[in-house]
């Protein structure tokens, strides 16, 4: 069984991004694997631990630094990695088309990926990939049970938890409660240096990105004027009454 | 522009989010068509047909659409979409699951989480957990958008019923099967539509303590929300989570109790009209965005607050 795990390199979620010269200022910021993708890697490793015949392939699309993120994934337990090299920040459909090529080329049975990259917050790529491959999708997964020909997915939906049964091959996207990712052991970090990591230029895949969408501007949201403090519950109640925000 | 709105419903009632999406659609065109896919869902189509701004309801009523599985629903929508300039759905788990699949079938990029529509092609959306607002120009042949419902009014005026057009397209789905839905039972208002939200974080320490929040919530007629930390720790179910990767709320009043105010949480509630923060740490970032804050132990403040509100006849 071959599992593809797409991983994106993103700015550390706990860093506050800023705007400089009408651009997002990315200089000297700590970078990391998208947290949802770490959960996907972890889930794939757990499947491999249950079934040694599983092969885990990582893919990352982006500039040369993505290789560091891929090495991290290899250290966690993936078998090999593919870097699709481009300097451009691609939109979800373009990424999905790349992943479609990767899935077909590598005879992939299951794609495990994040529900959302925490930089662009699109939450689209997995669903788009499933459409392009004409595979079933299990998005926002909080539990995954793999059978021979079927995968059972419990999904975090607005009303609670929905369970679906999907035929393989399928695309799954992870939610926060699926698992708790492990840390890479030092010995594994050393070993990962010898695992295969190939880099392919985007141009070699024949995937074209749209020129129909453009970012015109990035800006900071309006600042909220907060900060008033009170020292007693009575004062608090007075504020609430004055603001006329109580339902009665 | 010809606009198609994808209705969200459980075959009996419309999810209120659909009304917000219709409002967003009306800022793109003079009227919208609404597509209802489901099983025995005529009541839903009829309700939609009397909402002002709706020109026509398209209804695909068949067993294969009962659970709104994206494998066939996306194909149904994509077939209809070729007649339209834009396809809109809510940026909640329903729309997020379905619309990107539609966009890919149409071979267009989607725009997620639209918070402002400036023109047919220019919109605003938050990125980086709402720390940055992006203005996007979208010249795709068909605009596929998910709408952040808190950014568009939901109030709908009624009209005389418009036509309900039956679609007889039946698209089978042999790839996925609905197994079950474990619904969170609650008599409280829906979190994303509630006027008041009382929300708790890790400060409650355990799920037993978390029930303290219920008394205040019920007295205020409020919905209950939570942080990721509170959900991860098992205090409440996953669908209580508010934030970048949970639900987005913007009530009249948001009371944050034992919540530090991480950016991922703020992303889901900072557009609330009035924010109250209760936290024992005076340096908690939540205070910076709260309209009013009080430093102290929630286990003392919560009962005292209830008492004081009652005394002033401000709650029932
Ligand atoms: C990829 C990713 C996605 C995320 N998505 C979300 C999301 O959607 N929503 C979300 O909420 N978070 C999300 N997070 C997590 C977020 O970063 C924070 O970890 C989380 O919001 C913290 O929750 P908290 O405020 O309950 O806990 P803490 O940060 O631990 O804060 C608890 C607070 O309670 C206070 N406290 C403790 N005891 C008392 C007491 N007795 N009385 C009064 N106050 C007390 C403390 O002073 C503290 O400020 C995400 C993180 C990542 C990495
Ligand atoms: N540049 C990328 N390289 C590899 N995977 C990606 C990339 N961008 C997005 N993905 C995958 O798609 C998921 C959803 O991303 P998004 O649709 O952008 O929110 C991520 O969690 C990743 O698994």
In this structure, are B58 and B158 located in the same domain? yes
CATH of the domain at B119: 3.40.50.620
A17, HSE (Cβ side, Cα atoms, 13 Å): 27
Average pLDDT, chain B: 96
Q: Is the dihedral of CA B115, B246, A34, A153 positive or negative?
A: negative
Of B166, B185, B216, the position where a domain reaches its end is B166
* CATH classification at residue B297: 3.40.50.1220
In chain B, which residues have their Cβ closer than 8 Å to the Cβ of A118? 128-129, 244-245
Is there a single domain that holds both residue B161 and residue B38?
yes
CATH 3.40.50.620 fits A2-220, yes or no: yes
Instruction: Please tell me whether residues B210 and B118 are part of one structural domain.
Output: no
The answer to whether residues B40 and B148 belong to one domain is: yes
Query: With a CB-CB cutoff of 8 Å, which residues 23-42 of chain B face chain A?
Result: none
CA gap B20, B114 in Å, rounded = 12
pLDDT at B273: 96
- pLDDT band of residue A21 (cuts 50, 70, 90) is confident
Range of the domain at B93: 3-166
Burial class, B12, CB count within 10 angstroms (exposed 0-12 / middle 13-18 / buried 19+): exposed
Which residues line the pocket of ligand 2, CB cutoff 6 A? A 6-8, 34, 36-37, 59-62, 92, 95, 113-114, 116-117, 120, 122-126
pLDDT tier for residue A60 given thresholds of 50, 70 and 90: very high
How many alpha carbons lie under 13 Å from residue B5 in its C-beta half-sphere? 34
B274-279 and B253-257 beta bridge pairing: parallel
Our count of domains for chain B comes to: 2
Same domain, B147 and B235: no
- Are B176 and A166 in contact by the 8 Å Cβ rule? The answer is yes
* All structural domains of chain A with their residue ranges: 2-220
pLDDT digit string (tens) for A164-223?
999 999 999 999 999 999 999 888 999 999 999 999 999 999 998 878 999 999 999 998
Residue B39 is predicted with a pLDDT of: 98
Segment A118-143 mean pLDDT: 98
Q: Does residue B28 lie within any of the structural domains?
A: yes
- At B189-201, the pLDDT tens digits run 999 999 999 999 9
Residue B216, in any domain of the structure: yes
Residue B173 lies in a domain: no
Q: Of B123, B151, B166, which one is at a domain's C-terminal end?
A: B166
Q: Which of B127, B144, B166 is the last residue of a domain?
A: B166
- Pair B200, B162 in one domain: no
Residue B266 covered by a domain: yes
Same domain, B76 and B146: yes
Q: Give the pTM.
A: 0.97
Three-state SS at B147: strand
Residue B133 lies in a domain: yes
Query: For residue B77, what pLDDT is reported?
Result: 98
Measured between beta carbons, which residues in chain B are less than 8 angstroms from residue A121?
Answer: 112-113, 126-129, 244
**B99 with B214, same domain?**
no
**CA A197/CA B41 separation, integer angstroms:** 52
pLDDT at position B176 over 80: yes
Please indicate, yes or no, whether residues B161 and B72 belong to a single structural domain of this protein: yes
């Amino acid at each position: 069984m071959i599992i593809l795990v797409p991983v994106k390199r993103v700015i550390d979620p706990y860093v506050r991004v800023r705007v400089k010269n009408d651009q997002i200022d990315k200089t000297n910021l700590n970078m990391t694997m998208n947290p949802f993708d770490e959960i996907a890697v972890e889930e794939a490793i757990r499947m491999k631990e249950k079934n040694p015949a599983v092969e885990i392939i990582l893919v990352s699309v982006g500039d040369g630094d993505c290789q560091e993120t891929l090495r991290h994934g290899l250290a966690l337990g993936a078998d090999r990695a593919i870097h699709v090299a481009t300097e451009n920040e691609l939109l979800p459909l373009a990424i999905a088309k790349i992943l479609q090529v990767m899935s077909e080329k590598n005879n992939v049975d299951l794609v495990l990926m994040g529900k959302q990259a925490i930089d662009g917050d699109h939450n689209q790529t997995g669903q788009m990939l499933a459409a392009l491959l004409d595979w079933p999708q299990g998005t926002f997964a909080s539990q995954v049970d793999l059978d021979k020909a079927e995968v059972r997915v419990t999904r975090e939906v607005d009303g609670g938890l929905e369970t679906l049964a999907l035929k393989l091959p399928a695309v799954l996207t992870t939610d926060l409660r699926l698992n708790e990712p492990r840390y890479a052991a030092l010995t594994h970090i050393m070993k990962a240096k010898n695992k295969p990591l190939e880099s392919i230029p985007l141009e070699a895949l024949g995937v074209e990105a749209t020129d129909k969408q453009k970012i015109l501007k990035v800006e900071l949201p309006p600042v909220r004027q907060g900060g008033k403090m009170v020292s007693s519950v009575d004062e608090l109640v007075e504020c609430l009454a004055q603001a006329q925000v109580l339902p009665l | 522009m010809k606009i198609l709105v994808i209705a969200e419903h459980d075959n009996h009632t419309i999810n209120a989010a659909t009304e917000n999406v219709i409002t967003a659609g009306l800022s793109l065109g003079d009227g919208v068509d609404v597509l209802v896919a489901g099983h025995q869902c005529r009541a839903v189509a009829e309700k939609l047909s009397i909402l002002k701004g709706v020109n026509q309801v398209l209804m695909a009523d068949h067993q294969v659409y009962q659970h709104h599985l994206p494998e066939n629903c996306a194909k149904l929508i994509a077939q209809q979409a070729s007649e339209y300039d834009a396809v809109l759905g809510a940026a909640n788990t329903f729309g997020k699951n379905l619309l990107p699949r539609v966009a890919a079938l149409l071979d267009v990029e989607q725009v997620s989480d639209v918070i402002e529509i400036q023109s047919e092609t220019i919109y605003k959306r938050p990125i980086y957990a709402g720390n940055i607002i992006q203005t996007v120009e979208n010249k795709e042949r068909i605009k596929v958008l998910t709408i952040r419902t808190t950014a568009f009014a939901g109030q709908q005026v009624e009209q005389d019923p418009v036509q309900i057009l039956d679609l007889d397209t039946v698209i089978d789905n042999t790839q996925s099967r609905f197994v079950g839905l474990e619904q969170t039972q609650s008599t409280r208002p829906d979190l994303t539509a509630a006027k008041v939200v009382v929300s708790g974080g890790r400060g409650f320490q355990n799920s037993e303590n978390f029930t303290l929040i219920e008394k205040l919530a019920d007295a205020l007629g409020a919905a209950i929300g939570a942080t990721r930390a509170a959900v991860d720790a098992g205090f409440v179910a996953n669908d209580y989570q508010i934030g970048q990767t949970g639900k987005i709320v913007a009530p009249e009043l948001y009371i944050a109790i034992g919540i530090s105010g991480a950016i991922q949480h703020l992303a889901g509630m900072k557009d609330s009209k009035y924010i109250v923060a209760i936290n024992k740490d005076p340096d908690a970032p939540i205070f910076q965005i709260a309209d009013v804050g009080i430093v102290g132990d929630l286990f003392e403040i919560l009962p005292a607050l209830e008492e004081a509100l009652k005394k002033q006849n401000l709650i029932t």
